Structure 1
Amino acid sequence: MSLNSSDQDPWAKPSGSKQPESNKGDQRNWENDGKRKEQSPPDIEEIFNSLLKKLSGNNSSGNKGSKNSHSYNLIKFLPIATIAALIIWGVSGLYTIKEAERGVVLRFGELHSIVQPGLNWKPTFVDRVVPVNVEQVKELRTQGAMLTQDENMVRVEMTVQYKIHDPAKYLFSVTNADDSLNQATDSALRYVIGHMTMDDILTTGRSVVRENTWKALNDIIQAYDMGLEVLDVNFQSARPPEEVKAAFDDAIKAQEDEQRYIREAEAYAREQEPIARGNAQRIVEQATAYKDQVVLNAQGEVERFKRLLPEFKVAPQLLKERLYIQTMEKIMSSTPKVMLDNSNSLTVLPLEQLLSAKKAIEVKQEKALPTPKSAVNTRVFSDSDREPVEQNTESRQGRFN
């Protein structure tokens, strides 16, 4: 069965047949409409309709109206869906960085920038943010059996405190910064232990191990540039193998006892030194006072002898006797006295006790009956009969005055 051109394309002109007169006006109107369509801009709805027809592949006239209405609804809601998607995409890019953190921004997997704490925005599916805490102090522990300089084994434990000061270098300078720091600490500690003897490590060299390990660790991590800062290194413990642990414990105890005795001796010295200085100062002051006393007494004696010089010139013998008597009085007052008789039996008279008892009675009587200073009487004993003789002190100036 053959098909003509009108069956193939109902809108095309028939080539071999003439159209009726009634269809000429319609043909002109169609041509005018085509020209106007050519002059006007293309319609978006028609473009989407044609696109949907091509995608569906079905040109039946029964479903043509329903497809046109469905495509019209899709075109109507397409801008709204696009705007909603843009809003969701924009809101999904909001994020917050905490106060103690810094955000490392990766754009398509490459380092782009570092953002500060607060509310920030990133294009979703383009940037990725990795928060890094830069204020947290982390702690790393390392331990192991190590060989000392004198070829002994010792078990050492140490902790390292550190924090991150450059987030970008911490993430990208090395594969794992924490693991690299652990290996660097172990290497530095083994180097320091290998250059010290076991006795120093177990007794007095703990602070030296700490300081040297800190310096060696900083030198190692400086070359890696890991973005880490070592805050402190704590030397926890060092102990010998179990076979010789008792002997080393005794040695450590002896060292501690030595230090304790030294501290006690220093404390005793600090306590006794001020006392010794005080005693020395007191002795010096007493010697100075004694010197001044002797000088003043000598000056007084000189002055007294100067006053006696005129009397000596008048009666020298009397002055000599007076000086002799005064000197003997001083000597006899401080010398114990004993009286003996010349008979066959030895008779001892306790003269000192009698005199001391008599003086005590006189002192009690003076305290009981005080006398005015202007009329103080003294008792003078004569050498012959030792009888008291009343004499006024105001009128007495001396034998040779």
Structure 2
Amino acid sequence: MAWNEPGGGNNKGPKDPWGGGDQGPPDLDEALKKLQEKMSGLFGGKSGSGGGSGGSAGPAVSGSLFGVLAIVAAVVWGLMGFYQIDEQERAVVLRFGKYNETVQPGLQWNPPLIDEVIKVNTTKVRAASFRETMLTQDENIVEVNMSVQYVINDPDKFVLKVRDPERSLQHATQSALRHVVGDTGMDLVLTEGRVRIAGDVKQRLQEYLDIYETGILVTTINVDDAKPPNQVQAAFDDVIKAREDEERVKNEAQAYANGIVPEARGAAQRQIEEANAYKEQVIASAQGEADRFSKLLAEYNKAPEVTRERLYLDAVQAVYGNTSKVMVDVEGGNNMMYLPLDKLAEQSQSRVMRSPGLGLDSNALREITNAVTEQLRRDAAAAGSTRRGGR
């Protein structure tokens, strides 16, 4: 006999696996009824009587399941509202598409499906590069490569005020760059004017971004490269080479001037010092001659003849000492005697060189000359006496 076959109180048959002993199998409706009673007791409902009709159990069970699912959904919905904001971030909260608040870092909660949370990194440094070809103030074409570094300092404006802030940044940068380069000459753009151009572009670009309310703060602008277009690169290279040659020639000229001017100033100062020294020398010599003349005058007043003779001899000695040739006018004669002292000195020097033992100095030569002159005078005087006696 099967376990579910009615036994009529026979204890020898197999036992009910549901633990019912001799009673028959449980009814499915009864099981659902018990489950309903337990769920009703759990949620505060009243349990139905055992003799109630089985048709009212279905709607009750459906309502209980819906309540459980609603509670689970509410819990899940609440958990979905928690989120974390990092230290470098800020969150813009939109409630039903309208701005509600800006959330600071930390653990936050907002109702899901009602609030939209947009996180924005406000410390990250972003970069954008631009390459533009434009006209300078002197109507030359240059190509400028520039990089812009920026951060988001106002997340509300960055998210809500402008549809595409980074595209607005690109347009504003192009406009600011063209305005600044258009007011600058080509030489400054290609050479030392890049730093000034970067500063002017940064100031003007920030003004544009503030007017547009993009919420972007420009931190750094670098002009990476500035060059003429490739079509005219050769001509610009020639211009740059000519400019370098000009600077080189100027530097060489300046170096030459730095060498010549101090030398000329030194020579001029030397001449001035020599003139002053000559002036002092002439003044001192004149004063010395004046003192000497005063002293000679005193001596002349004491002994006129002796002083006159001494002055004459000194004058003759000074004149003969500075000449190598002497013309002697012999008294009573018709001829003038010529004494080549230089030749006599050379002959004496040659004799000294041939005879080392024989020495002849200037004093000895002067004595010889005086003796010769005196002898010539005597001879001339004797000749004159003879001629007068014959008459």
- Aligned equivalents of 2:160, 2:194: Cα separation in 1: 36
More displaced 10-residue stretch of structure 1: 194-203 or 126-135? 194-203
Quote the Cα distance in structure 1 between the aligned partners of 2:256 and 2:290: 51
Conservation of the 8 A alpha-carbon contact between 2:137 and 2:182: yes
Task: Tell me the number of residue pairs that the alignment of Structure 1 and Structure 2 aligns.
Answer: 295
Q: Give 1:121's match in structure 2, choosing from 102, 107, 119.
A: 107
Partner secondary structure for residue 142 of structure 1: strand
Matching residue's letter, 2:108? K
1:262 to 250, 253, 268: 250
Tell me the amino acid that sits aligned with residue 308 of structure 1. L
Query: What TM-score, normalized to structure 1?
Result: 0.53
Q: Which residue of 2 aligns with 1:164?
A: 151
Gaps of 5+ in 2: 1-38, 328-336, 371-391
Taking the aligned partners of 2:106 and 2:195, their CA distance within structure 1 comes to 47
Post-superposition offset of 1:141: 2.7
Question: 1:305: Cα distance to partner?
Answer: 2.8
Do the aligned partners of 1:338 and 1:350 also contact (CA within 8 Å) in 2?
Answer: no
Residue 134 (structure 1) shift: 3.8
Matches within 5 A, 1:119-198: 120-124=106-110, 125=112, 128=117, 130-134=119-123, 136=125, 138-147=126-135, 154-164=141-151, 166-168=153-155, 169-194=157-182
Deviation at 1:48, TM superposition (A): 0.6
Does the CA-based 8 Å contact 1:337-1:351 persist in structure 2? Answer: no
Counterpart position of 1:384: 367
Contact 1:240–1:248, Cα closer than 8 Å, also in 2:
no
Amino acid of the residue matched to residue 367 of structure 2?
A: S
In the superposition, the TM-score normalised over structure 2's length comes to 0.54
Provide the residue aligned with 2:287 in structure 1: 299
Q: Secondary structure, in 3 states, of the residue corresponding to 2:109?
A: coil
Q: Is the 8 A contact 2:93 2:103 kept in 1?
A: no
Deviation at 1:49, TM superposition (A): 4.8
Instruction: Tell me the CA shift for residue 349 of structure 1.
Output: 4.5
- Alpha-carbon deviations, 1:237-273, whole Å to 9, x = none? 221452x433332222112211222233223333444
Q: 1:379 to 1:130 in 2, by over 3 A?
A: same
Question: After superposition, what is the alpha-carbon deviation per residue over 1:2-50, rounded to whole angstroms, capped at 9, x for unaligned?
Answer: xxxxxxxxxxxxxxxxxxxxxxxxxxxxxxxxxxxxxxxxxx9747153
Contact 1:164–1:170 (Cα < 8 Å) also in 2: no
1:339/1:349 contact within 8 Å kept: no
Task: Name the aligned partner's letter for residue 290 of structure 2.
Answer: V
Instruction: Tell me what 1:251 maps to.
Output: 239
> Deviation per CA, 1:277-302, whole angstroms, max 9, x where unpaired?
33433333333333333333333333
Q: Which residue of 2 aligns with 1:96?
A: 86
Q: Show the counterpart of 2:93.
A: 106
Structure 1 partner of 2:218? 229
Report which of the two structures shows the higher radius of gyration computed on alpha carbons: 2
* 2:297 matches 1:309: yes
Question: C-alpha separation between the residues in 2 aligned to 1:354 and 1:111?
Answer: 128
Q: 1:199 to 1:50 in 2, by over 3 A?
A: same
- 2-side partners of 1:184 and 1:353: how far apart? 108
Pick the aligned partner of 1:50 from 31, 45, 51. Answer: 45
Structure 1, unaligned runs of 5 or more: 1-43, 362-377, 388-401
**CA offset digits 1:55-101 (Å, max 9, x no partner):** xxx9759x99xx9xx99xx9xxx9xx97x998x789x545431xxx4
Q: Does 1:238 align with 2:227?
A: yes
Q: 8 Å contact 1:166–1:228 — kept in the other structure?
A: yes
In structure 2, distance between residues paired with 1:139 and 1:323: 106
Query: 1:391 corresponds to which residue?
Result: none
- Alpha-carbon deviation of 1:179? 2.6
